[in-house]
Chains A and B, each alone.
Chain A
Amino acid sequence: MNITGADLIGAAKLIGAGLAMIGAIGAGAGIGIVTSGAVQAMGRNPDATGTVQTNMILGIAFAEAVAIYCLVVALLILFVF
C-alpha cells in the first residue's frame, strides 16, 4: 500500500479538524458554570425563575458562540479546503 501526498493531506485535515474542536472545552466549562449559577439562583429564589432563565439562555448562547467558531473552523477544514 503506497501512501501518497493526497493521503497525508487528508489525514492532516482530519487531525486538524479534531484539534480545532479543542476550543469546545472552554464553552463546555462556561455553559456548566452558567447553568450551575442559574440553578442555584432558581433554588434560592424560585420567583425569579423567569428572569434567571432568560439570562441563563443568553449567557449560554454567548459562551456557546466560541464553540461555534471552533465548529466553523473544523467544518471549513473538512469540507472547504
Chain B
Amino acid sequence: MEAAPKKKWWRWGFNRWLVLLFIIASVVTVYGLGISPVRPRVQLPAEHVPGIPIVLIVFAAVAILLSAVVHRWEGLIAAGWFAVMAALPVFLNFQWTNTLTALVIADGLLLLISFGVLRALKSGTLTPKGVAGAVEALLEYLYNITEGTAGRWARTVFPWFVTITLLVLIANWMELIPGVDSIGMLEKAASGSGYPIRSLTGGIATIFQSAKGAVVQETYNIVPFVRVVSTDLNFTVALALIAVVMVQVMGVRAQHGAYFTKFWNTKTLFTKPVFGVIDFGVGLLELISEFSKILSFAFRLFGNIFAGSVLLFVIGALIPVFAQSGFLLLEFFIGAIQAIVFGLLTMTFMAQAMQGHSGGGHEEA
C-alpha cells in the first residue's frame, strides 16, 4: 500500500470546476451582458467558399510544425495531403465548398490515426496505448460482428466496413467541435434575412441579435469555413453509390454469373407455373430494392446529421445556456450510431450478396 496521497484543495476533481466556471461565464455573457447566440441561416446545398485553399495551406504549415515539435513523420504526410488538396482548385476548375474542407480534414485525421496505429503495431507492443488501443478495441468489436455475419467472407468485406465506418464517424463527430458551422466569412444577406454585425478587432466581426424594432441598414450572414461533410448530399450519395456498387462487385466475385439469377429468376418459371411467376416478380423487386438502397443509404445519413445540426442551431438560439450540452451528447450518440449503421448495412448487404440464396453459405458462419 502506497502512502496516502496528500489531500488537495480541489479534492473533488479539477475539471468539474472548470465546467462550472464555463457555465457561470455563459450565464453572465448571455443574461448579464446580453450577448446571445443567433440562429444561423439554414441552407441545404453546401456554400461556396473561395478562400479555403489558403486555410488548407495554413493547416499544412501547422502539421509540419507539429511533426517537427514532436519528432514524428506522420505530420509530413498530413501536410502533403492538405497541400495537394489546396492545389486542386488551382489546376482543376471547380468551386471549393465548405463541406469539402470538412471532408479533407476528416481524411487528414483518418490518415493521422492510421499512421499512429501503424507505428504502434510496428513497435511490437502487444498492448497499444492511447488512440491505438481505442482503435484496436473498436476494430476487434467490428471484426467480431463481421465474422458473425459474413462468415468465411469476413476478410473480404471487413476493409469496406471499417473504412466507411471510420470515415463517417470522424465526419459526424466534427459537428461537435466548437467553431465548425460558426466561424466563417460574412456575406451580405438579402433584405430581412440576416443580422447586423459588430466589429471585434481588426477584420474580425460577429453577427448579433438586434433589438426588436431596430432598423438595420445592412444585414449579414455567416458562410462557415467548415461545415460537417455529412450535411452535404454529394458526400452521402457518393458513399452510397460506392457501397451499393461494391455490393454487386462482391456478389459477382463470389457467385460469378449465378449472382444475376437473383434479379432475373427464370429457374422455376416454367417448371412451377404459379410460383415461378411469383419468383420472377420477386427477382424484379430485388432489382428495384437495389436502387432504393442507394436512396435510403444516402438520405439516412444526410437526414440524421442535417437534422442534428439544425437542432443544435435552434437549441443554441432558444436556450443559450446549458441546454445545448445535452443535445451535443445526443448528437455524439447519433453520429456514432449512424456511422456504425452505414458500415453495418454495407457489410450485411455484401455478405448477403456473396452467400446467395442457393445455400452454401450456411455450413459455416
Contacts and interface: CB of A to CB of B under 8 A. Distances in A.
A65 interface: yes
A71 B303 contact: yes
Chain B contact residues: over half helix, strand or loop, or mixed?
A: helix
B348 A64 contact: no
A5 interface: no
Contacts of A57: 340-341, 344
Contacts of B307: 71
Interface string B122-156: 00000000000000000000001100110000000
B44 interface: yes
Interface size classification for chain B: 10 to 19
Given A61-B341, A65-B296, A69-B299, A54 B149 contact: yes
Contact of B344 (A50, A51, A54, A64): A54
Given A54-B145, A57-B344, A58-B348, A64 B300 contact: yes
B299 A72 contact: yes
Nearest to B146: A54
Chain A contact residues: over half helix, strand or loop, or mixed?
A: helix
Contacts of B296: 65, 68-69
Contacts of A60: 341
Given A61-B341, A75-B44, A68 B303 contact: yes
Contacts of A65: 296, 300
Contact of A79 (B44, B341, B344, B348): B44
Nearest to A65: B296
A78 to B, nearest CB: 8
Contact of B300 (A51, A61, A79, A80): A61
Interface of B: 43-44, 144-145, 148-149, 295-296, 299-300, 303, 306-307, 340-341, 344-345, 348
